[in-house]
Amino acid sequence: MLYGKWTVIKLKCLELQCTIAISKFPMHNIQLPGMSGAQRNQDRKIVVIGAGASGVACATKLLELGFQNVLVVEAEDRLGGRIHTIPFADNVIDLGAQWCHGERDNIVYELTRKQDEELLESTGPVYENYECVRSNGDVVPEEVSSRLKAIVGDSLVTRQLELRHCSGSLGSYLTNKFYDTLRRPENSDIDAEVASEFFVNYQKFENSVEASDTLEQVSGRGYLDYWECEGDILLNWKDKGYVELLRLLMRSRELNVEHGVLEQRLLLGTRVVKINWNRNDGRVELQMSNGETCIADHVVVTVSLGVLKDQHLRLFEPQLPVEKQRAIDGLAFGTVNKIFVEFPEAFWPEDWTGFTMLWRDEDLDDIRGTSRAWLEDVFGFYRVSYQPRILAGWITNESGRHMETLPVDEVQAGVMYLFRRFLRWKIPDPANFRTSAWYTNDNFRGSYSYRSMDTEQLGTGARELSHPLTVVATTPEKDKDSEDEAWQQSRCDRPIVQFAGEASSEHYYSTVHGAVEAGWREARRLAQFYGISVSRSGTKSQL
């Protein structure tokens, strides 16, 4: 059955022929006599807005919990959101999410291991053994670069303790830490100019981790809100790409259907343009970009924080509560883009993993104030697993946003300028070229969230973002044998608009496992409201 079409279904009900017109939702929303309270509750119409990791996780978990009347509405013509795996060169590339960050207490890692222990592998060596190359083509000696890497690496250990007492930005902390260590007698032989160039490049790398424009924007204390999962933090999906996680969540391979359990529950290429959450009947009315209207009992919003920042004033009717608006304004959302260059053949040595670009001050004069100024923020290129002829570059901040507006041939020419300036090999023209563009796409408006100085000053965070919009409601009906402890509490506030997505994760923001966890959190919230035992569904231990 296709959503948005009127389908006439004939069924025999109490020995009567009934013709029922059903729109928007599958036939599970027909309420038949004799249904239990729990069955009627699980038949509530639920719309999930956004088919990224959080939306897919939420929808599939709702189905697992017994809800059947679930529809996922996605503005893009594909599912995945900021997971975007595409065919390229000899295999696939990930334009968005790339790594499973850590192992212990990481839902993505645990889910993957249950299905196939061979799906993930480490790419850590690629991002540890790179060369540092100066803009005159000189390679920084490995003995020097390894010591500089160790200096910034040490801060990864100490910052967890020291930032607790930090009242400033992550940038000021890292700058003081780096130069204090550099001034120690054992480091007096390191060339000061090389060290400075290295640290400028390292700041660009850290900006790609945080999605910040500058590290001065990142709250030092807020940085500690993020919990890093123990284990390898650079696990990638071998030759399958991150889309494989979505296939696992949807059980696509198991069911031999592209969208698995979400088949015929997805409405792609349709944007929600208005969410009216103030109806007299306590339901939510959604206006779609295709002109249709949908009425739901519950709506779970999983769009990016960038979209909320850009659209919440015109998207919600009435406007969101002040607390929610403060969270949207206070949490930060930045842009990180990738640059993929496919060459006819590899021109680099087999044991070479990539390089970072250390600009000398006198060489920066060649591009600053010109149309190539944006190239200063491309900080490195690295090998790509299962792609023997590809190098992948990274760019952040305003330069990354500006790159999205340039013609492809201009971007490619700029990138080739970098290769031929920094590397002394003979560089062939590329066979193929592709960049991501997360900011100019109105359905994303950036890459991922972080905790800024504004977040700290406004005293807001993910908890405020994740609070649902509610209406006062009577206690839902439940089965007599329900033993869920949460059910024993008084429940008078019915969640009608809920919020998921990585930015709503209190401790795993900016990650896919944070997005998945947030989606499951909201599915669990509905299950508990309707007195459905979450523990029986197997999700309690995972959340």
Read off the pLDDT of residues 54-85 as tens digits, 9 standing for 90 and up: 999 999 999 999 999 999 999 999 999 999 99
Is 273 contained in some domain? yes
pLDDT score recorded for residue 154 = 86
Higher pLDDT, 31 or 471: 471
Domain of residue 521, CATH code: 3.50.50.60
CA angle 187, 188, 191 (to 5 degrees): 95
Chain Cα centroid distance, residue 193: 37
d(CA 537, CA 524): 10
Is 522 contained in some domain? yes
348 φ/ψ angles, rounded to the nearest 5 degrees: -105, 160
Structural domain containing residue 524: 49-80+240-329+447-542
Q: What is the dihedral of CA 255, 259, 265, 268, to 10 degrees?
A: -170
List, for residues 408-427, the tens digit of each pLDDT value: 999 999 999 999 999 999 99
pLDDT score recorded for residue 24 = 38
Q: Is the pLDDT score of 26 beyond 60?
A: no
Asked if residues 249 and 264 have their Cβ atoms less than 8 Å apart, the reply is no
Is 368 contained in some domain? no
Number of helices (H) and strands (E) in the chain: give both, helices first. Answer: 17, 24
Is 262 contained in some domain? yes
**Residue 40: band (very low, low, confident or very high) from pLDDT cuts 50, 70, 90:** low
d(CA 195, CA 188): 11
Radius of gyration of the chain (CA): 25
d(CA 351, CA 342): 18
Q: Is the pLDDT score of 217 beyond 80?
A: yes
Higher pLDDT, 202 or 21: 202
Asked if residues 491 and 529 have their Cβ atoms less than 8 Å apart, the reply is yes
% of the chain with per-residue pLDDT over 70: 87
Q: Is the pLDDT score of 7 beyond 50?
A: no
% of the chain with per-residue pLDDT over 90: 82
Q: Is the pLDDT score of 16 beyond 60?
A: no
Rounded mean pLDDT, 441-445:
99
Is 350 contained in some domain? no
Q: Is the pLDDT score of 22 beyond 70?
A: no
Higher pLDDT, 533 or 36: 533
d(CA 380, CA 392): 8
How far CA 274 is from CA of 39, 278, 288, 313, 446, in Å, comes to 30, 12, 7, 10, 21
Q: Is the pLDDT score of 487 beyond 80?
A: no
List, for residues 118-137, the tens digit of each pLDDT value: 999 999 889 999 999 999 99
**Per the structure block, which two tokens stand in for 273?**
């343009």
pLDDT score recorded for residue 39 = 63
Q: What is the mean pLDDT of the chain?
A: 90
List, for residues 137-166, the tens digit of each pLDDT value: 999 999 999 999 999 988 877 888 899 888
Q: E strands within 441-515?
A: 448-450, 469-472, 493-499
List, for residues 310-335, the tens digit of each pLDDT value: 999 999 999 999 999 999 999 999 99
Q: Confirm whether pTM is higher than 0.85.
A: yes
Is 316 contained in some domain? yes
pLDDT score recorded for residue 165 = 84
CB-based contacts of 252, cutoff 8 Å, min separation 6: 246, 258, 259, 260
Q: Is the peptide bond before 318 cis (omega within 30 degrees of 0)?
A: yes
pLDDT score recorded for residue 478 = 59
**Residue 477: band (very low, low, confident or very high) from pLDDT cuts 50, 70, 90:** low
Asked if residues 262 and 60 have their Cβ atoms less than 8 Å apart, the reply is yes
Asked if residues 357 and 380 have their Cβ atoms less than 8 Å apart, the reply is yes
Is 306 contained in some domain? yes
| Domain tally, the chain | 1
Q: Is the pLDDT score of 28 beyond 80?
A: no
Which residue type is seen at 99? Answer: W
List, for residues 492-527, the tens digit of each pLDDT value: 699 999 999 999 999 999 999 999 999 999 999 999
Is 269 contained in some domain? yes
Cα end-to-end distance, the chain, whole Å = 33
Per-position DSSP letters for 2-67, written without gaps between them: -TTS-EEEEEEETTEEEEEEE-SS-GGGPPPTT--HHHHHHT--EEEE--BHHHHHHHHHHHHTT-
Each as own residue / partner, the long-range contacts of residues 24-29 (CB below 8 Å, 24 or more positions apart, any chain) are: 24/71, 24/292, 24/294, 25/69, 25/71, 26/1, 26/68, 26/69, 26/264, 26/265, 27/1, 28/68, 28/69, 29/68, 29/69
DSSP structural state of residue 229: P
Residue 384's H or E segment, with its range, is strand 378-384
Rounded mean pLDDT, 104-125:
94
d(CA 523, CA 67): 9
Q: Is the pLDDT score of 385 beyond 50?
A: yes
